[in-house]
Amino acid sequence: MRNLLLHIAYNGARYHGYQVQQNAVSVAGTFQPVLEKILGEKVQLKGCSRTDTGVHANDFALSFKTNCRIPCAGLVKALNNDLPPDMAALSCEEREEDFHARYSCTGKRYRYRIRNSEIRSPFEQDLVWVYYKYHIDAEALDAAAKGFLGTYDYRAFASPGGSVEDTVRTIYDFTVTRDGEMVEFSVTGSGFLYNMVRIMVGTLLTAGMGKLPCTAEGIREIVLSGDRARAGGRVPACGLYLDKVFYEPIEG
């Protein structure tokens, strides 16, 4: 039996997250029937993580075991012939028997995109946060974001409802950059808590408005406090992308 790792991408605008749900369209609920039709058998999909409603993925990893002998390149081609237009297979490879898309993962990178403009963009609806009229000083937020780096308990940046008990994570890198009106937040970590990236971005934006200290030291104090009330709000899901899934050691 083969153990395959698939990387896919999807526009999450119409999906209610990754997990199969009753009475709601999900990524797994859409992808799995197409895959099983091609394989000619039922499979148990292992996803690298759960994504929220409306969140996108430039790189989402899935693993599954199969008796099907279709070559990896042929499977990618067949999937892209049958998947809906808002979803694509990127690559496929054979992995060792005990490989698991979630538990073998060494880290993830997320990106959050904001159109920093006083005029709403009608062409990027559901793909970025299209309307943020307050000026974003990307350089100042980039410097403040360095306060997130390190291994800490990040419970101050988690929404209620998460199922994990261990809230310690390692953040390897966090940058904020601007390209014209587009501001992008990029964060790489060993893992992330429920809504963690969206709250981190919201905290930086709140700091940028002068409502929290806009320094690395100020952000670090919020991290160390473990107090959700001291952090900022949660930004909309539409601007968030799972950008890369790592299966090799991350240098930090």
| Active site residues per annotation | 52
Q: How is residue 40 annotated by DSSP?
A: T
206 closest CA partner among 181, 235, 180: 235
Check if the beta carbon of residue 87 is closer than 8 Å to that of residue 8.
yes
For residue 106, how far is the Cα from the chain centroid?
14
